[in-house]
A and B are shown apart, each in its own frame.
Chain A
Amino acid sequence: MSDIKKFMYINRRAPYGTVYAWESLEVVLIGAAFDQLVSLAFIDDGIYQIMKGQDTSQLGIKNFSPTYGALGDYGITNIYVEKESLEERGLTLDDLIPLKYEDENDNYAEKDSIKVVTASELAKILEEQEVLLDF
C-alpha cells in the first residue's frame, strides 16, 4: 500500500454554532505534516467558513477565519468550492477569502487555491479520493 494517499476534507457546516469547522481545520493543519495529497471542499453552509469579513466580536467566540489564509503555506493548494452552494446563498467568489499559494514549480508565482466546481464535477473529484474526512 502506498503511504501517500489522496485526502479530502469535506466542510459542510457553518463556521460558528458548532465546533466542527474549527476542529476540522485543526485536523487539516496537523495532517499537513504527513505529506499526503490533500484537498478541501466547501459545500452547503461550509461555504461560510471562508467568507471574507468575519466578525465574531459579539459572539464571544474566536474568529478562526484568518487561519484559512495559512493553508497555502501548509502546502494545501486544492480548495474546491461548490458552485451550487455559492449560488443558493447568493454569494460569488468575490465574497470569499482569496486563498492563495506560491507555486514552487513556477518561480513561486502566487496562484489561487480556490476552484469553483459544480456538484457533478465535485462528485468526480470525490470519486478519486482515498480518504474522506467529513465535517
Chain B
Amino acid sequence: MKLAIQINEGPYTHEASVSALNYVKAAVAAGHEIFRVFFYHDGVNNGTRFTTPPQDDVNIANSWSQLAKDHKIDLVVCVAAAQRRGIVDEGEQKRNGKDGNNIADGFRISGLGQLIEAAIQSDRLITFGD
C-alpha cells in the first residue's frame, strides 16, 4: 500500500513524532511504500538539526534523517508553518535574509500542496497528533 504520513506535533512534548517514526519503520518493513511524510503545525520542529538531547535520550530529528537516508523517504516541512516557527533551509535563509539555517539532513521545505498531493497519490493518509 502507498502511504502518506502527516505529523502535527513537535518532537518531545508530544509522542506523535516517535509514534510516526515507529509506524513508518514498521510499514517499510512490511513492504509498504511511504509516498511522503509531511510535517505541519509544531510538527515542523522535527526538522531542525540543532537539537541536542541528552545522550541517553532519543534524537528524534536524527532518527528521521537516518530513516530518510536508509529508505529514501521524502520528508517535507510545511513552509508557512516553518516560517512561523523558525525552521530554515538555505533557500529560506536567502529569501528572508536570515543569518543561518537549521534544516536537518533529508528534510526539505515546501508548500501545503505537497500534503494535498500526497493525499491524492496515496492509498491512505495517516495523521499523527492530537
Contact = CB atoms under 8 A, between A and B. Distances in A.
Interface of A: 1, 3, 5, 7, 19-20, 23, 26-27, 30-31, 33-34, 36, 131-135
Interface string B99-130: 00000000000011101110111010101000
Interface residues of B, number: 18
A19 B41 CA distance: 8
Interface of A is mostly: mixed
Interface of B is mostly: helix
B113 A33 contact: yes
A36 B120 CA distance: 9
B81 A133 contact: no
Given A7-B119, A34-B120, A26 B127 contact: no
Interface of B: 6, 8, 40-41, 80-81, 111-113, 115-117, 119-121, 123, 125, 127
